[in-house]
Amino acid sequence: MTNLSPSVLSIRKMTTDDLDCVLTWRNHPDIRSYMYTKHEITLSEHREWFERSSLDPHKHMLIFEVDEIAQGFVNINESSSAGVASWGFYVAPDAVKGTGRKLGGAALNYAFSTLQLHKICGQALSFNERSIKLHQALGFHQEGTLREQYCDGKIYHSIICFGLLSTEWQVTIKGLNK
């Protein structure tokens, strides 16, 4: 029998119980290769990062779930300017196609409704086609290009900067719900 009921999407705070799972995702080559920090992260390094970040009320480490199964990680960092934050994210390497879009939507609802933020900024390496398409699909504006800003050890890559205002997200949601 096929289950036709819609999936339940949710965002919750990351806990120490998620540490192993998130580290496995973060160290996966399909994820690591799109990050600025590309080395394999050790468990102690990961624990220290989580403990340090948990003490900072401006950092929000979140887990995206589909039907109560963890499918991705989202990081929202509020900057010094009130209501403005940057985000980063990745989906479980075995997640089905379309998970990124769902994660993005759920995380932005959390950012603009629960956290009441004004603006979310994102950055993607110029070869990260999926992230660029995802930002565009979610209604982000391309606000600039940092030309040859990142060196992977061999060659320089540009960084694409995106921004989305709370008011713009309301417009995107209306379009998605039509």
Ligand X SMILES: CC(C)(COP(=O)(O)OP(=O)(O)OC[C@H]1O[C@@H](n2cnc3c(N)ncnc32)[C@H](O)[C@@H]1OP(=O)(O)O)[C@@H](O)C(=O)NCCC(=O)NCCS
3-state helix, strand and coil shares in percent for the chain, rounded to the nearest 5: 35, 35, 30
Q: Does residue 178 belong to the site contacting ligand X (CB under 6 A)?
A: no
- Phi/psi region, residue 67 (left: phi>0; alpha: psi -120 to 50; beta: rest), is left
Q: Does residue 56 belong to the site contacting ligand X (CB under 6 A)?
A: no
The minimum distance between CB 97 and ligand X, in angstroms, equals 4
DSSP per residue over 10-52, as a string?
EEEE--GGGHHHHHHHHHSHHHHTTSS--SPPPHHHHHHHHHH
Q: Which of 101, 121, 149, 159 binds ligand X (CB under 6 A)?
A: 101
Nearer to ligand X, 91 or 106 (CB): 91
How many residues bind to ligand X according to rule CB under 6 A?
21
Q: Does residue 71 belong to the site contacting ligand X (CB under 6 A)?
A: no
Among 10-18, 74-82, 112-120, 124-132, which window interacts with ligand X (CB under 6 A)?
124-132
Spatial separation of the C-alpha atoms in residues 135 and 144, rounded to whole Å = 13
- Torsion, Cα 18 21 22 28, to 10 degrees, reads 180
Q: Does residue 121 belong to the site contacting ligand X (CB under 6 A)?
A: no
Spatial separation of the C-alpha atoms in residues 109 and 168, rounded to whole Å = 12
Name the closest residue to ligand X (Cβ).
100
Q: Does residue 105 belong to the site contacting ligand X (CB under 6 A)?
A: no
Q: Which of 10, 21, 34, 157 binds ligand X (CB under 6 A)?
A: 34
Contact residues: ligand X, CB under 6 A: 31, 34, 88-91, 95, 97-101, 122, 124, 128-131, 133-134, 137
